[in-house]
Structure 1
Amino acid sequence: MWARLSTKYAQDARGTINVFQNAQQGVGMQSIWRLHEYPALLKNPNVTGVIFHY
């Protein structure tokens, strides 16, 4: 369920996206973010940029 919801959220995003991550632990390699949401943001033509904050 969360994979589907996160993907849909990313597909509907617009503009510049701000991402806040844990600077000490980062993101898990098998996380919903890494496997579904971030790839969907990269494919979304309405996303003009992704800014990471650590």
Structure 2
Amino acid sequence: SEGYSYPVCTTCGRRHPGECRRAAGTCFNCGQAGHLQKDYKKNTTAVTPGQADKKP
């Protein structure tokens, strides 16, 4: 046995439990709305929630 196996989601093509985050419009990485996991790769200086308006 290789552990749990979820069916392939018809929306995103991944195997996961529960509601599809792509269908809900939330990030696969953190689960929050407003951005997607792919945005983390584009921005190497990741902005944490609530930090976007603060300047160094």
**TM-score scaled to structure 1, two decimals?**
0.25
Q: Which has the higher contact order (CA 8 A, sep 6+)?
A: 1
Which structure has the greater CA radius of gyration?
A: 2
